[in-house]
Amino acid sequence: MLVASCVFEGPTDDAGRDTVADTDEGDPLALDNQLCFSLYAASRALTGLYRELLHDLGLTYPQYLVMLVLWERDGLTVKDLSHALHLDSGTLSPLLRRMEQAGLLTRERDSDDERVVRVSATEAGHALSERAQDIPDRLLCTADLSPGRAGELRRALDEITRSVESAGRRHTG
């Protein structure tokens, strides 16, 4: 039987427990006790709220994420956009193609290196940013989250992401 052993960095819970089995959560294999499932369920619920809010803009949630990046840093390479969104090129390329067909962005080969493709928002794509200004506030209102609580959650999720990505790099060499 393989038993996981690790030394946790930082504080354990208030009672000094540092394994799932030590907690009062019950069965460590119960679905409702899985961090991954809680993250998955929260992500699906939040994405559903975004879907409703983005409908009037004519954007899907993944398209909204692309536009958020381009509104912040226009003219990125596909590689940089892929990195920013944590998407592989097989997922990103068809998404960008559809957005280009919709007139939201352009994809152009770099003049210095034909292998590099740059992505830029069109005038229509930039115009959407004005209409999207209230999306973050509307989302918080709909989800009944204060800006402070949303910030706390985002920081905790960012910490989880960094920790998991760091662990992945350590274990894959």
Model pLDDT for residues 11-39, shown as the tens digit of each residue: 566 666 556 655 667 899 999 999 999 99
Collapse the DSSP code of 118 into the 3-class scheme (helix H, G, I; strand E, B; otherwise coil) and give the result: strand
* pTM score, whole prediction: 0.83
Q: What is the DSSP letter of 25?
A: S
Place of tokens 């989800």: 143
Q: Is-contact 135 67, C-beta < 8 A?
A: no
Q: How many CB atoms neighbour CB 126 within 10 A?
A: 16
pLDDT at 30: 93
pLDDT at 26: 81
Instruction: Give me 70's structure tokens.
Output: 């381009």
Residue ranges in the chain whose pLDDT is less than 50: 1-3
For residue 109, give the H/E element and its range. strand 105-109
Length of the chain, please?
173
pLDDT at 158: 96
pLDDT at 73: 97
Orientation angle between helical segments 35-54 and 135-143, nearest 10 degrees: 130
- Where are the alpha helices (H) located in the chain, listed in sequence order? 35-54, 61-72, 78-85, 89-101, 123-132, 135-143, 147-172
Q: Which top CATH class is 65-132?
A: mainly alpha
Q: Is-contact 104 128, C-beta < 8 A?
A: yes
